[in-house]
Chains A and B, each alone.
Chain A
Amino acid sequence: MEVSHSIKERTIAENSLVILLQGLHGQVTTVDLRDESTATGRITNVDAFMNVRLAEVTFTDRQGTVSHLDELFVTGRNVRYVHIPDEVDIRATIERQLQAIHRVRFFGGRDKGRKEFPRAKHK
């Protein structure tokens, strides 16, 4: 599972719907941009700020001109819509992503590893 290496990004993702987009890794989707252009391609990465990386992209600009790009990076702010493919089970995708984050968080078990939320030393 592709979980961010940053604690801050994990927490942001865990508390918002971006986590669904992160679960769409590898899916071919269409992203409608704020400036009315659209990009259809395979999602390779989505971060907590909704920045999206796509591969094998068909890009249709505002005027309707179609072009093909190997890779495209879209800033989160410029996303208007993401079309979710019909085959995606939204609830299962979100739960899978949350489980991946929790696995990373609790890596090493109770007494090993660096704690994301350290236990108080004195109660």
Chain B
Amino acid sequence: MLLNIHRVQQTTNTVEEPLDLIRLSLDERIYVKMRNDRELRGRLHAYDQHLNMILGDVEETVTTIEIDEETYEEIYKSTKRNIPMLFVRGDGVVLVAPPLRVG
């Protein structure tokens, strides 16, 4: 499903502004870094100028740092959950990218 709401009247095929780069990722899986140490990986169904987004098949990762009381070392813990279809409010979005490839 391709939905381009951020420009209502015309839909150009050229890349003119940064939001157009996101348009190129419509219907693709993307990686979204959010505020409060959260990350989302999902399929981009729609977005708008505020970066409100609709993501399908989403995996949300919340990362927390715990300090070991004895050794004072930092332990990174992450919690994941899956959501079939999610509306994301744009003001929480930090960056949007193609999925990160590990290794």
Contact = CB atoms under 8 A, between A and B. Distances in A.
Given A17-B46, A17-B52, A81 B89 contact: yes
A18 B85 contact: no
A90 B84 contact: no
A20 B46 CA distance: 10
B53 A83 contact: no
Nearest to B62: A36
A27 to B, nearest CB: 12
A17 B53 contact: yes
Contacts of A15: 5, 8, 48-49
Contact of A21 (B8, B49, B50, B87): B87
Interface of A: 14-21, 34, 50, 76-77, 79-86, 88, 90-91, 94
12 contacts: A16-B52, A17-B46, A17-B47, A34-B92, A77-B91, A79-B89, A80-B92, A81-B83, A85-B85, A86-B84, A90-B45, A91-B1
